[in-house]
Each structure stands twice: as C-alpha cells, then as structure tokens.
Amino acid sequence: MKVSIVGAGPAGLYLGILLRKADPAHEIRIMERNPPDATFGWGVVFSDETLGQLRDADLQTYVEITDTFARWDAVDIRYRGRLLRSRGHAFSAIARKQLLAILQRRCEELGVKLEFGVEIDEPATVPGDLVVAADGVNSVFRRHYADELGSVVEPQGCKYVWFGTDLVLDAFRFIFRETDHGLFQVHAYPFDEHASTFIVECPEPTWRRASLDGMSEPESIAFCEGLFAEDLDGHRLLSNRSIWLDFPRVRNRSWHHCNVVLLGDAAHTAHFSIGSGTKLAMEDAIALANAFARHTDVDAALVDYELERQPIVERVQQAADESAAYFQRVAHHAHLEPMQFAFNLLTRSGRISHASLEVRDPDFVRVLDSWFQGASRAEARRMAVAPPPLLAPLSIGGLTVPNRIVRAADRDALDAVAHGGTGLVLTGLAAVTRDGRTSPDCPTFHADEQASEWMSIVEDVHDAGALVMIQLGHAGRRGATQPRTRGVDLPLRTGGWPLLSASPLRYGPFSPKPKAMDDQDMARLRHAFTAAASRAALAGFDALELDMAHGYLLASFLSPLTNRRDDGYGGSLGNRLRLPLEVLDDVRAVWPSDRLLGVRLTVTDWARGGVDMDEGVEVARALTEHGAELIHVEAGQTVPEAQPEYRRGFLTALSDRVRSEARVPTLVGGYLTTPDEVNTIVGAGRADLCLIELTETDLDRQVAS
C-alpha cells in the first residue's frame, strides 16, 4: 500500500511507525511544512491508560518516551491563599520536541520517508492508496472537504496563552488569581526536569478589561509574570509564539472521504483543560493501524477506524465541553470555601465523582466529608471521619433536613417513601383551586376540611423521621387533562373545566384555549394561594413550594412565549414577575417564618424567544429577595416544542448556575439515580438537595423475598 501522511506531528509520525512495522512493504511518505526541529507548544500529557496502549503498540518508542517522562500523581489547586493537593491522578508528560525527535528517529530507522518543508496547497493532488490528513487543527484537508466531512469548528471557552517556564513543578497545578479586571487562572504541569508548561486563561471580557487585546507579546509576558509572581517564585515565563488565542473546537460528522482520512486534531479537538489532545491523536494512530491489520480494503478499514474511535472521542469531547464551560464561569464559584471549590474543580467534567475520587485519594474525600459535615451543622465541629455529603443534615429556612435525599411521591405513597431513608419527601402538585387541577385525580387544597385529611399523612411522614414539602400551584393552561397513564397534556374528552393563563394561547394542539386572567381572576388566585398555604401550615407541612415551573399558571406569566399581555403584568421582566411575586409575598406573609418556603422554577424555557438561563438567574434572584429560601430547579415544558437535552443529571449544570449566581440553596432532580451522584453534586456545591429516582430492581426483589 502507498501511504501519504500529511503532517509530522505525533499522530502522523506514530501512524507511519505502526503501519510500516505491521508491513514493511507499505511505502510511507510523511510530508511536513515545517523544518524537523520546529515545534509549537511545550509539554504534552498522557494518562496511564494511554501509556498502556503505547507500550502494546511499539515497545521501543514506549521505552524511550517513558525514559524522559516527568511523572506526577497530584493535582494542586491554589486558591484564596491555600494550596490544596489531591493525589492519585497518575499523569506523565514529555516535551513535545523530545517526543517528536523520538518518533522521527524511529520512522527513519523503519524506512518511513520524512520530507520537511513541503507545503500542500492542493489536497486532491496528494497521491497514495491512503492519504492521511494529520495536519493539525488548521488542517488544509479538512477545510478542502469541509462539506463532505460535515466539519464544524467554533471557538470554545476562555482566551488563553501557552507559555513555558523554568519553574519545575511536582504536580499538575491550577492557580486562581483575582484581579481588578476579573479572575485569571493557570493550568501548569512539568514536562521534564527543566521546565513546565504554564497556560494562562481568562474569559474574554476580563481579557479586554486588562487591555491584553492591545498588548505586544513582551508586554503580555510581563503582565502574566507580574500577576503570577508569587507562584513563579522568581522564575520566568518563556515564550514560543505565545500569543493569546481562542481554542477551536473541531468536530466532523465523518472522519474520512474516499481514501482521505483525518487523524488527531484535524479530526477533533478536546479543550486543553482536560489535556487530552496528543493522547487522542496517538490513540487514533493506533486504532487506524489496527484497522489495517483487520482489513485489506481501504474503505472497510476507514469505516472500522471511525466506528472504533468516534464514540470514544465523543465522550472525551463531552467532558472537555463541560470543563471549558466550567473555566469560563469559574469566577461565579469564587464564593465557595477552598475545600468545596477544589472538589467542584476536580469533578467539573463528570469524569471524576465522589466515589471514584475516594478510590484515587481516600484522604481527600475523608477531609472533604469531614469539612462538609462541619459546614452543615450549626456548631462547626471537625470530625475525623464523617459520613458522605448526602448524609449531612441541611439547615434551611428554620428547619433541619436530616439528609440530602428528596423523593417525590403521590399522596398514598408518601409514607412508604419516608420510611425509605429519605430526608425530605415531596408531594405532587396540590392545586389551590378546583380549576387549577391538572386532571380530575389531582389533589387540591381548596377547602378547609382538606387540612385534616393531610394531617395524618404528615404525621406518618414525621414518625418515619422525614420532613414533608407540599407543592402548591395551579395548572393554568395545562389543566383539565387526562391522568398521565397514557400520556401528558391529553385533554379530557368530557368533564373538563375552563382554563386560565397569562394569555389566551392553547398549550398543545388539541388543548382548549385558556382565558387571559383579568384583575378579578388575579385577586381570586392570590386569595386561593394564601388560603391553601394557611391550610398547609395547619396540616403540619414542614415546607411549601410554590409552583412556577413547566408552563403552569404562575410560570405562564414569567415567559415571554406564554405572556403576551400589554398591561402591567406583561412585557418587561419586572412586569412578568409581578403576579408571581405578589403571590409569593402573600404566601410568605401567612406561611410560618420557621418553616421552609421554596419555589419550583423553570429557569430556562429551552426555546427560542423564551426565558434563557441568564434571565432564569435573575428570576431566581428576585424570588429570593422576596423570601424564597429554596429554588427547585426545573427547565422546559413552558411550550411543547422546546429543545431539551436529556441525559443523566440534565438539570445539574442549571442548578449550579442558580446556586452560585443567585446565591440561593437549590433542590435539583433531572434523573439522578445513584447516591454517588448526590454526593458529588452536594459535595461540590452544585445543589443542596437532590431529588432521586429509584426503580426496584431484580436484586431488590431477590433480597426482599
């Protein structure tokens, strides 16, 4: 086979080695535009897992590479004058120059032809049975075949600049520095016995405020040296074409077109904050070489390569997206205590959880748990060994919730759930009026005698050691539907009732049109809420949440998609908030001050023209100012045709934003099914309480029977 590889980076060189090793009859040319010793960048990082693959693929280069390695197992987090260290994260790094020299030598030894200073202008003219585009993040080939490959390249995360330094670190180190312009952070790690990589980043607005957009390279080095003088401890920052950049996020629907295949950064990038670029590139080379060991047909091999690599890379890119987003917004976490800040940082991409960190670094988790228990109790008390965060009590709104687990249940099942170890049980919607029901079987709190009906249920929950929160609301235009057994928002065929909403817009295609609320309706509604809240207090509920989510009546006022009013209750956010805040104020006035009052809130409509996350944070802030002590974070369902993104914990990132930006305790669900998720979310300060879903499994049944 005749193979042309364009680009003599780690991926291109390594592929040349592996293909030639597999079959010395392959004729392999590697073409590179730069001279052999030119390289951009400092050190590159590998994990243990990647090293195993390198060892299996080519022992000779593995030995040479690992001989020059800088190795460490710690991640340091320097934040607010503390240096917190987490261990057990085995990493290795090598100078990029050194890595390339080893791979070039091996290529020459195996008879792979290396040509430097070759510029490719016309990708279609490169000869070969197989043409490998290993020409990096700015790949000429990818741009040439952008349509066929379905390429998407977009900037991601902060502004960043890549320096070296003669400071030799002994760990991966994150450094956070507050300035008048905003927060700056550093990602630094050693790559040999002489030097470390030192990447500085900050969000673009901070970068502009610091006037970095107008600085020359020496000026920006001087700025960074000054900012991190204490951390550099007398050492210098070294430049290597070190200019401020945007990180390009590269994705391709397909990684090959005819006999041209993308490798490494040409095919995909993963934000440097999870440090996986070179690792992914070399793994690509291994997978592609293996595909040619299984198939002689070029097309079949390239399909095999894509099937193997795309799902893996997608997962890494997902984690990289989370990580890049984290660093872009990290300034909002500056209120967290150092221990929690560190745990939040370590768990940012979803790849490390409380449980997996406990395996890597039991000491860190022990200290975290102890700190968390202390912080959760009124009298801060250091414990040597503490239960995990989900078992820490939560003091909130005059209550102490015994643990962080919340489960929702219908009225009949509340008692059983309370006996299952849940700290707080949550009722389904109880409507404040008869016409506020979702469906005929929806419980209400519209009459005085209902307080006594609930009283015994509340007592049973208390006897089980749990607290109970009632959800009070009005279904608005999502009312008068059939029970949810066969679907949601299916209108009642008979026996319906007139609906109310902010504006006369029907919800689903066959839903009845609601009436826009007038002054009288609002007065009646406010009265119904206060009357229901008083009854709930009488029934003994510990907590009450007002429903302002999922397109129900109060939520319909908040969203511009459902509120088209031109009176004082529509238009500006202030106007759209008016009725919800009036109801909140009324309820706050009658609800006992030593019991918890929360709001269930859709913080983004997930729909164009609707409430977005920024506005959702503003709403949460306004509700907090009016006495809400807990925000139960929800999203979507404001209108039926929205753009949700479902996955495990799909609301966690939203809760994190509400909690850190509106500074209010949060309750979050979003399909959480394991204690580990709760420990991670609560421990990292992304929420205070978690609503979990548990389904009885075969194992449950086996053990119970």
Partner 1 sequence: MRVGIGLPNTTPGADGALLLEWARRADAGPFSSLAVLDRVAYDSVEPLTALAAAAAVTSRVRLATMVVIGPLRSTALLAKQAASVHAIAGGRLTLGLAVGARLDDYEVAGVDHHRRGARLSEQLAYLRGGDGAAQGIGDGLELLAGGASGPAFARMARYTDGYAHGGGPPRAFAAAAVKARAAWNDFGRSGQPQLWGQGYFALGDAERGAAYLRDYYAFTGGFAEKIAAGNLTSARAIKDFVRGYETAGCDELVLLPTVADIDEVDRLAEVIAG
Instruction: Give the residue with the Cβ less far from partner 1, 483 or 571.
Output: 483
Q: Which is nearer to partner 1, 123 or 388 (CB)?
A: 123
How large is the angle between the packed helices 450-463 and 519-539, nearest 10 degrees?
40
- Distance from C-alpha of 258 to C-alpha of 399, rounded to nearest angstrom: 66
In the complex with partner 1, the residue whose CB is nearer, 643 or 702, is 643
Q: What is the nearest approach in angstroms of partner 1 to the Cβ of residue 92? A: 29
Contact 690, 681 (CB under 8 A): yes
Considering beta carbons, is residue 145 or 172 the nearer one to partner 1? 145
Smallest distance from partner 1 to CB 704, Å: 19
Task: Please identify, using beta-carbon distances, which residue of 241 and 486 lies nearer to partner 1.
Answer: 486
**Distances 303 to 255, 406, 457, 458 between C-alpha atoms, Å:** 9, 46, 60, 60
Residue (of 502, 498, 495) closest to 479 by Cα position:
498
What strands lie across the sheet with 91-95, from one edge to the other? Answer: 43-47, 91-95, 70-72
- Of 264 and 636, nearer to partner 1 (C-beta) is 636
Torsional class of 63: left (φ above 0), alpha (ψ -120 to 50), beta (otherwise): alpha
Pick the closest to residue 315 from 377, 373, 270 (CA basis).
270
Q: Which of 552, 569, 646, 671 is catalytic?
A: 552
SS3 content of the chain, % helix, strand, coil (to 5): 40, 20, 35
Q: Minimum Å distance from CB 687 to partner 1? A: 17
CB 665 within 8 A of CB 685: no
Q: Which residues pair with 545 in a beta bridge?
A: 471, 598
How many alpha carbons lie under 13 Å from residue 415 in its C-beta half-sphere? 9
Chain position carrying tokens 């940012």: 348
Residues found near partner 1 in the complex (CB under 8 A): 148, 254, 256-257, 299-300, 303-304, 306-307, 311, 428, 481-482, 484-491, 493, 508-510, 606, 636-637, 640-648, 650, 669-671, 693, 695
C-alpha neighbours within 13 Å on the C-beta side of residue 413: 10
Smallest gap from Cβ 149 to partner 1, in A, equals 9
Q: Which C-beta is closer to partner 1: that of 198 or that of 305?
A: 305
Dihedral sign for Cα atoms in the order 645, 649, 654, 657:
negative
**In the block, residue with structure tokens 């009459």:** 447
Closest CA to 548 of 467, 635, 658, 644: 635
Where helices occur in 361-444 by DSSP H, the ranges are 362-376, 414-418
CA-CA distance, 503 to 553, in Å (whole number)? 10
Token couple for 349: 């991409």
Shortest separation between residue 312's beta carbon and partner 1, angstroms: 10
Q: How many C-beta atoms surround the C-beta of residue 81 within 10 A?
A: 7
Encoded amino acid at 186, one letter: V
**Shortest gap between Cβ of 317 and partner 1 (angstroms)?**
14
CB of 475 to partner 1, least distance (A): 12
DSSP states along 469-536:
EEEEE--GGG-SB--TTS-SS-B-SSS----EESSS--SSTTSPPPEEP-HHHHHHHHHHHHHHHHHH
Residue 94: CB partners within 8 Å, gap ≥ 6? 43, 44, 46, 65, 68, 69, 70, 191, 192
CB 431, min distance to partner 1, A: 15
Which of these, 348, 308, 347, lies nearest to 324 by C-alpha position?
348
Toward partner 1, which CB reaches closer, 95 or 635?
635
Instruction: Closer to partner 1 by CB, 223 or 606: give it.
Output: 606
Q: Residue 650 Cβ, how far from partner 1 at the closest point, in Å? A: 6
Q: Which is nearer to partner 1, 490 or 538 (CB)?
A: 490
Q: How far is the CB of 489 from partner 1 (least distance, A)?
A: 6
Nearer to partner 1 among residue 81 and residue 509 (C-beta): 509
Contacts of 194 (CB under 8 A, 6+ apart): 166, 168
Residue 300 beta carbon to partner 1: minimum distance, rounded to whole angstroms: 7
Distance CA(545)–CA(623), nearest Å, equals 12
Q: Are 468 and 427 in contact (CB under 8 A)?
A: yes
Q: Which CB, 32 or 322, lies closer to partner 1?
A: 322
Is 14 designated active site?
A: no
Minimum CB–partner distance for residue 637 and partner 1 (Å): 8
Q: What is the DSSP letter of 620?
A: H
The residue behind tokens 């927060």 is: 183
List, in order, residues 6 or more apart from 618 with CB less than 8 Å away: 573
Question: Secondary structure of 315-384 in the HEC alphabet?
Answer: HHHHHHHHHHHHHHHHHHHCCCCHHHHHHHHHCCCCCCCHHHHHHHCHHHHHHHHHHHHHHHCCCCCCCC
| Residues tagged active-site | 552
